[in-house]
Structure 1
């Protein structure tokens, strides 16, 4: 089932696909909190981001930051890459054959969502590493 839902953006509204009743990332309340939309694709050095996450005790997020979006760019990472990674995990979860696979992917997805939230918070506060 494919529906569209409206989500506010800077300068207007955009339609966001809602596949199978699952809300899309753009429709999530925390996603709308990114104050500067350009920050979504601002790339930061992956190693610097991982070190900053580890320094603040965010071990699970640091682990995900080490490989999320690596197919796009091995040296750097952006919020957009993390969100695309999470969307890919959602597809993989739908295709998983065993409960164990689903649970592993769900755990990874949750950690990737938390990484995206942390990066958004840091971007809004001007703390996202360069």
Structure 2
């Protein structure tokens, strides 16, 4: 806080002096090394959304969400079981992150980006196509979770 007269500084008897008030440093607190907390990694918003829906299939081991699987092998396994829609979704879900591998978390993030694309879509046909693609991506995520829980992924 500083005090100065309105018309400028004065000198002599009765002059108002500038007064600086500062907070005293706590004893030993300023130079003392502070403990650093380990940085907690924020959980992926897609995973939080998925786990907050109790009717969805859930993984027994949370580490499986980020475990990469060979995309080509997953597509072949889905086609062998006659799941062509899931195989189509597996071909390009998360391909912008990794072209060769796919994980459950990538599929869930892909489904979340489709929600944003639906909001930006200009025509009803485009919204409908994106809605079907999102449903297929969520079905693929459920299938991958089911296979991961069974040890097949």
| Structure with the higher fraction of residues in strand conformation | 1
TM-score (norm: length of structure 2): 0.67
**Structure of higher RCO (CA pairs closer than 8 Å, 6+ residues apart):** 1
Using the TM superposition, give the Cα deviation of residue 102 of structure 1 relative to its aligned residue in structure 2, in angstroms.
Answer: 0.5
Structure 1 residues 79 and 61: alpha-carbon distance in aligned structure 2, compared to 1, 3 A threshold = same
How far 1:16 sits from its partner (Å)? Answer: 9.6
The answer to whether the Cα contact below 8 Å between 2:57 and 2:142 also exists between their aligned partners in 1 is no
Q: What residue is the counterpart of 1:127 in the other structure?
A: 152
- What RMSD, in angstroms, separates the aligned Cα atoms of the two structures? 2.2
Correspondent of 2:129 among 99, 104, 114: 104
- For the residues of structure 1 that align with 2:99 and 2:72, how far apart are their CA atoms? 10
Unpaired runs of 5+ in structure 1? 1-14, 18-22
Give 1:123 shift.
0.2
User: Which of 48, 51, 56 pairs up with 1:26?
Assistant: 51
Instruction: Give the conservation status (yes or no) of the 8 Å contact 1:16–1:26.
Output: no
Equivalent of residue 60 in structure 1, options 64, 85, 97:
85
- For 2:82, what is the secondary structure of its paired residue? coil
1:95 to 110, 113, 120: 120
Residue 97 of structure 2 corresponds to residue 72 of structure 1: yes
Structure 1 segments (4+ residues) deviating >6 Å: none
Higher helix share: 1
